[in-house]
A and B are shown apart, each in its own frame.
Chain A
Amino acid sequence: MGQGGEEERRGWGVEEKRGKSSEGEGKREEKGEEREREREERAGEGGGERERERRQGKEREGGEGEERGRRDGERRREERGREKEEGREERERDGGREREKERVREERGEGGERETEERERNSSQDRCWGILDSQMLLLHSALIIMTHITPTVLDLITPNAPGSSSPTRTDNNDSCSTAEQIRLTTIAALNLTEWRRRCELNDEEKKQTINEKCVGEENWVDSRTIYIGHKQPPPGTEAFIQQRFPDNRVTSSKLIIDTPTSPVTSGLPLFFVITVTAIKQGYEDWLRHKADNAINQCPVQVVHDGKVIRKQSRKLRVGDVVFVKEDETFPCDLILLSTSRDDGTCFVTTASLDGESSHKTYYAVQDTKAYTTEEEVDSIHATIECEQPQPDLYRFVGRINVYMNNDSVARPLGSENLLLRGATLKNTKHIYAVAILTVMEYANMALNSQSPSLRRGRLFVMNSYLVVYPGACSVIARLTDLCVEYVFTDKTGTLTENNMEFIECCIGGHVYVPDAICNGQVTLIQILFYSMLKKKWYWTQRTTKVNTEQQRPRGAVFPGAVSLSHGQVKEEETVDGIKHGIHQGKSTSFYISSSPDEVALVEGMKRLGFTYLRLQDNHMEILNKHDEIERFEQLEVLTFDSVRRRMSVIVRASSGEYFLFCKGADSSIFPRVVAGKRRKSRLESNVTLCLSADYGDYADFGLIIDGAHTSRRPQAASGRLELWKLQRDFLEICRNCSAVLCCRMAPLQKAQSIVKLIKTSKEHPITLAVGDGPTTGSSAVRNSDYAIPKFKHLKKLLLVHGHYYYIRISELNVVFIFPQFLYQFFCGFSQQPLYDTAYLTLYNISFTSLPILAYSLIEQHINMDILKKDPTLYRDIGKNCLLRWPTFIYWTALGVFQAIVMFFGAYFLFDNTTFTSNGQVLYFYWPHDSNTQMMFGNWTFGTLVFTVLVFASLLSLALDTHYWTWINHFVIWGSLLFYVVFSLLWGGIIWPFLNYQRMYYVFMQMLASGPAWLSIILERTRLYQGHLSDFTPLSSLRPGLNSGSEASGPGPRLQDNRRSRSEYGAKKLMFTRWRYRASDYCSFTPLLPRFSAGPKYGGTGHEEHADVVRACANALSRNSP
């Protein structure tokens, strides 16, 4: 490991070394000086003490030798550290900064000498403070909430206690380089300023220790320097190294539990929840760690001492020269030094990054591209300065200093030199490149970064809330956000599954349809192709072929143009036996291309009689209608990219004529078209904003946004305010539409203007994006909360799993604590607990947790097939109706009702009666005591209520469960059994370690009592009845309400069911659906409108896709003529 590597490593975890700052340049230096000034200023305020010490130190240095002096030096540093620390806080308070500076300047003359000396020493302390920081966090954290302070790689300095002299410490740099690296994952929470304050309150020695380590400043410098091959630059040309320091600022949280019961009772469930969460997080971390390891340990080839050696990728350091072979993925961000190609270029596909599968060309650094062997590469002596990683993949600014013969050459670096991690090398044998940003380092930065854009890494972020507060109410619902409000989907490729078909084309106003009569009636201007998804969905593929050069008969040129203007096919196609296929009238061969529309075009042309055969000797061969082979020499191919939005082919016909064929988006084609100019205006008016009303039977609005135009408008908008206004208007329009179609959007537009705009709107809706690799949907995907790769997944995800999810989380139980509340009225508000502590504690943990968990995992109230078949069922769900206030109130009211029933049931049972038994039941157990009478005390009362409660909760859940797997059976009945067994055990033994035995035999005595049993049964039945009455009348009423619309309403669905199911099953399912329609969806929303709306939905119920898509398609199809 070279020196440079050490430097890098140090830079990760710790404060930036200030030692180098004096040699920094430009701005950096100024900044550093400013800091110094301030520090000095603070020192000046610190008073003469330090000065005295300094003098003493010098004296001692002279008199008593170096060791002593060093100790004092340390002390001094500590002092300084503290003062600097104070200064920092002061600065944070933003008090009189300017004034200070001025004073500093006055003092500067005196402080100049000191500055250099201390700056040097300071470098090591700065590095060290992070360690103690973390330790202190651990020490002082009162409450541990899981907060990840990044796995920070720290340099651990050999402990040099301030009091003890350390003769081994010779140089600051050395002491740090001997330090071992540690990865520190801290779980702690404490306000940093808070504990800094505490630092000051500690006694003298501690103060010194801490202050030595506490020093630190946030350094927000956005630049970094990399030494290629870890070679230090020649003296005199040293560059300033600045790295962003991870900010371990964490927040503390205070938790107050106020409860009549013991802290254990309240704390245990909380502890349980936290423990479970911690375990879950830990497990996830472990999985992630495992995955990381797998990636981290895959071998990377690195040039070391003139040889290529293999290294684990996690050991890759910034500055390593990496050797990458063809088809390998780049292990980290690299700057291309040299390639195997003569011109110093390499081809890279970034399909895994942005979905662009095309090959992009990257260029080696001009001065290093000649170094093509390991030895040569190893001899490169250069440093790279570049900015910190940006969220924008395509932006990179930096420069490289190449030192040759004591001469340094600086070259700018741009994104054309930067190879991004994850991209793949293509068509190039090998390259040499220098690592500028490794994964480890990046993780470090990203996690500590304040910038949210860097942190947005995980696609699926689940939020689980579990409210456990025994004093209020207990919500046993797992809230995991999967309530997607906005779905973004990429049209091409995603929606069509890349299944495109050539339908017709229009040349000069004439429509050509393969194998069909051309009626010439429809004048399609811009839309040439429809892609086809299951023969239903029509989408425009806005591709236009125009011959710009020739005025030959259009019908003849066009097919040729279409056939020839495909860039990608030439490299990757396989053409087999096309000739044979054609003469049988059927195609036996197929084209393969990365772009499905090109395949569609070529195949469409084939059906029109122009068959593309092959590319031979740089000549494209086309079999025309007359079975003649036309040969075109391919001169140049300009590939498609999203900036130009078109591709071009220059060919030379056998006749010697040159053709430029251009294919692309209409927005980029039309401006260049001479003949098409006339229609351009019409086109624009067509696509800007169209409203199409009346889809199906209900009014629905679809909006089409043309990316080509919206992109112009924000540019035209001069001020930010205008832009903002525009966005707001846009948002407003979008919200009022059930479907918005954005076409011809650049990737960035998708991400920025659409998805981000929606997401940052006031409601912060959850968004979902669909996108699969080849097209540019990834930008939208990256900005969404959720992403799924294929459109076809969306259906099941939303209709089935989204639905289930809603049902599953909408179960609520608030019955638990209400009896306790009621009880307070009857015990003089004395905070007397109704339930035993153990019951209180375990209710949420043991008795009721598993069943609700199982419910939330596997409940399926309606069959998957039905949900898929009838997307209208999702409508109610989509509007969040199960978690709206009425429903919440409903559940609460139900809980209160149950609680009242339970409590007063038991109350009247106990009220003013002895509630005794003459022990007939007991006789079997204690024959000698047959006359025992039982007095039921308060614990019996509570236990009775609790027993009823547990039974009621579980059984009402059982009633709500419609999908009884063995797991449900197991957990529900198991929980009941567990409760009984637990109660028997809890009350059956004198527990030696408890200081109370109040529950002793309460449960058993209660069970021995006939009335208790009867009351349990009674109240349970009562609740059962309450539940039944919830829906049964409605389910019975429903046919009546819907009787008028019977024919149109459920009719089709009924038939569907009959088709797929047995007779009996159909009826059952019918009934289920009614029930859900009627009650469970929206118990409190008015039923009648829903029913009256039913037939309308019913009519479209057989449609395959969700409303969004339908509306989109509809809007489009209405728009297109």
Chain B
Amino acid sequence: MITAMMASSYNAKEEDGHHSGAAGHGASAVKSRKPDNTAFKQQRLPAWQPILTAGTVLPAFFVIGLIFIPIGIGLYVTSNNIKEFEIDYTGVDSNSPCYTCARNFSFNSTTSCTCSLNFTLDQPFESNVFMDDSQLNGDPSALKAPSKECEPYRTSEGLPIAPCGAIANSLFNDTLKLYHVDSNGTMNEVPLVKKGIAWWTDKHVKFRNPNGNANLTIAFQGTSKPVNWRNPVFELDPSDPENNGFINEDFIVWMRTAALPTFRKLYRIIQKKSSTTPTLPSGRYILSVNYNYPVLSFDGRKRMILSTISWMGGKNPFLGIAYITVGSICFFLGVVLLIIHHKYDNRNTSADIPN
């Protein structure tokens, strides 16, 4: 009976065992079920038991505060040193879209620095961010048969689209040019470097052209350009044959989808010339925009941002402020706790809590 079985097993657990039938075969077969006398099973593992006392917590607060506040200040100063200049070139009048807007602006930068030219888009998030990574990696089969998740930008006119997907289809294709108007009134084009704006690994490992870089026209034969594109992918950069196909850096930058609906992407880099001459001397500049990318239909905004670059990237005071805040709170809490601790510590044995 189950009761019997249960009872016998229950009996086996007893230490002093009330086995009346010692020779009973049922009882003798059951081993002792006492757990092993090991440190683990008996919960006696040697352990370090840190105890948070005022002696440890208060110094921790102070140390954190004292470390964080300088870091925060440093970050904030760095961030503030970064100069940014921003132009919204969306074009207000939707009836007459300006394709070439020239704007005059002045940019004061006396120091030598590397500057970046960024564009910022403010657009609703793309819901389908899928891209065919194998296709972009140069997989010939994926080139001809893109992943289904590229739909509805998978095939066009019966041919597979390369690169497929909505993201690629909406490639940012405005052309920005920067002219410096010198004292003579002549416009000198500021040299914009378009290499090195993408991740090194993206350009060299993740993105690859089919059949290497040899003759992209042939490599992309049998594929169709994305619907909204003007040129096929192998003609993205007519000036530099090395910068075409999937490894076009503008394309790579675009394909690294942004996290938030308002995002900023690197467009070009302005290299510093020498340590003495300012990269962008004071004066008037002209931004020439080849306006291809329509944003008005979805109430988007387009901006150009000229920014200096520091070690911590673009201008972002948040990190510095956050550090300062946290450091201050820590320090403040430390002080409060210290006061409380001393005021209410009426055991009046100062040795009680080793500070």
Chain B CB within 8 A of A320 CB: no
How many angstroms between the C-alpha atoms of A916 and B263 in the bound complex? 13
| Binary per-residue interface labels of chain A (433-475) against chain B in the complex, 1 for a CB within 8 Å, 0 otherwise | 0000101001100100000001111110000000000000000
Partner of B262, one of A456, A832, A911: A911
Query: Assuming the A-B contacts A426-B20, A914-B118, A931-B269, are A1025 and B313 also in contact, with contact meaning beta carbons closer than 8 angstroms in the complex?
Result: no
Query: Assuming the A-B contacts A393-B1, A918-B311, are A937 and B257 also in contact, with contact meaning beta carbons closer than 8 angstroms in the complex?
Result: yes
375-419 of chain A: CB within 8 A of chain B: 389, 391, 393
- In the complex, chain A residues whose CB is within 8 Å of the CB of B43: 804, 858, 860, 864
Asked if A1021 and B326 sit within 8 Å, CB to CB, the answer is: yes
Asked if A964 and B8 sit within 8 Å, CB to CB, the answer is: no
- Smallest beta-carbon distance B115→chain A, Å: 11
Asked if B2 and A457 sit within 8 Å, CB to CB, the answer is: yes
Asked if A914 and B57 sit within 8 Å, CB to CB, the answer is: no
Chain B CB within 8 A of A1075 CB: yes
Chain B positions within 8 Å of A, measured between CB atoms, are: 1-11, 13-15, 18-30, 40, 43, 45-54, 57, 60-61, 64, 68, 71, 75, 114, 116, 118, 120, 124-134, 137, 142, 147, 196-202, 205-206, 253, 256-262, 264-266, 269, 271, 305, 307, 309-316, 318-319, 322-323, 326, 329-330, 333, 336-337, 340-341, 343-347, 352-354
Partner of B23, one of A328, A918, A966, A996: A328
764-796 of chain A: CB within 8 A of chain B: 772-774, 778, 781-782, 787, 789-790
12 A-B residue pairs with CB within 8 Å:
A295-B29, A352-B20, A389-B1, A458-B6, A830-B128, A916-B266, A965-B47, A995-B132, A1014-B71, A1039-B345, A1040-B346, A1067-B353
How many angstroms between the C-alpha atoms of A138 and B202 in the bound complex? 49
| Binary per-residue interface labels of chain A (816-835) against chain B in the complex, 1 for a CB within 8 Å, 0 otherwise | 00000000001110111000
| Binary per-residue interface labels of chain A (322-358) against chain B in the complex, 1 for a CB within 8 Å, 0 otherwise | 0000011101010000000000000001011111010
- In the complex, chain A residues whose CB is within 8 Å of the CB of B57: 1028, 1032
Query: Assuming the A-B contacts A439-B5, A914-B118, are A1010 and B311 also in contact, with contact meaning beta carbons closer than 8 angstroms in the complex?
Result: yes
- Smallest beta-carbon distance B275→chain A, Å: 15
Asked if A990 and B265 sit within 8 Å, CB to CB, the answer is: no
Asked if B352 and A1067 sit within 8 Å, CB to CB, the answer is: yes
Query: Assuming the A-B contacts A826-B261, A914-B118, A990-B205, are A789 and B15 also in contact, with contact meaning beta carbons closer than 8 angstroms in the complex?
Result: yes
Asked if B340 and A1040 sit within 8 Å, CB to CB, the answer is: yes
Asked if A995 and B147 sit within 8 Å, CB to CB, the answer is: yes
How many angstroms between the C-alpha atoms of A922 and B196 in the bound complex? 13
Interface-facing stretch out of A41-49, A128-136, A998-1006 = A998-1006
Asked if B116 and A933 sit within 8 Å, CB to CB, the answer is: yes
- In the complex, chain A residues whose CB is within 8 Å of the CB of B199: 932, 934-935, 1001, 1005
The size of the chain A interface, using a CB distance under 8 A, is: 133
Asked if B322 and A1018 sit within 8 Å, CB to CB, the answer is: yes
Partner of B125, one of A333, A830, A909, A964: A830
- In the complex, chain A residues whose CB is within 8 Å of the CB of B256: 935-937
Partner of B11, one of A773, A827, A1010, A1075: A773
- In the complex, chain B residues whose CB is within 8 Å of the CB of A1011: 312-313, 316, 319
Asked if B13 and A789 sit within 8 Å, CB to CB, the answer is: yes
Asked if A1036 and B340 sit within 8 Å, CB to CB, the answer is: yes
Chain A positions within 8 Å of B, measured between CB atoms, are: 291, 294-295, 298-300, 313, 327-329, 331, 333, 349, 351-355, 357, 389, 391, 393, 420-426, 437, 439, 442-443, 446, 454-459, 772-774, 778, 781-782, 787, 789-790, 804, 826-828, 830-832, 858, 860, 864, 905, 907-918, 920, 922, 926, 929, 931-942, 962-968, 990, 994-998, 1000-1001, 1004-1005, 1009-1011, 1014-1015, 1018, 1021-1022, 1024-1025, 1028-1029, 1031-1033, 1035-1037, 1039-1040, 1043, 1046, 1064, 1067-1068, 1071-1072, 1075
Asked if B21 and A914 sit within 8 Å, CB to CB, the answer is: no
- Smallest beta-carbon distance A1087→chain B, Å: 14
Asked if A937 and B27 sit within 8 Å, CB to CB, the answer is: no
Partner of A912, one of B13, B71, B114, B264: B264
- In the complex, chain A residues whose CB is within 8 Å of the CB of B336: 1033
How many angstroms between the C-alpha atoms of A291 and B13 in the bound complex? 14
- In the complex, chain A residues whose CB is within 8 Å of the CB of B15: 789-790
- In the complex, chain A residues whose CB is within 8 Å of the CB of B313: 913-918, 934, 1009, 1011
Query: Assuming the A-B contacts A773-B18, A938-B129, are A291 and B51 also in contact, with contact meaning beta carbons closer than 8 angstroms in the complex?
Result: no
Partner of A1033, one of B128, B260, B340: B340
Asked if A935 and B265 sit within 8 Å, CB to CB, the answer is: yes
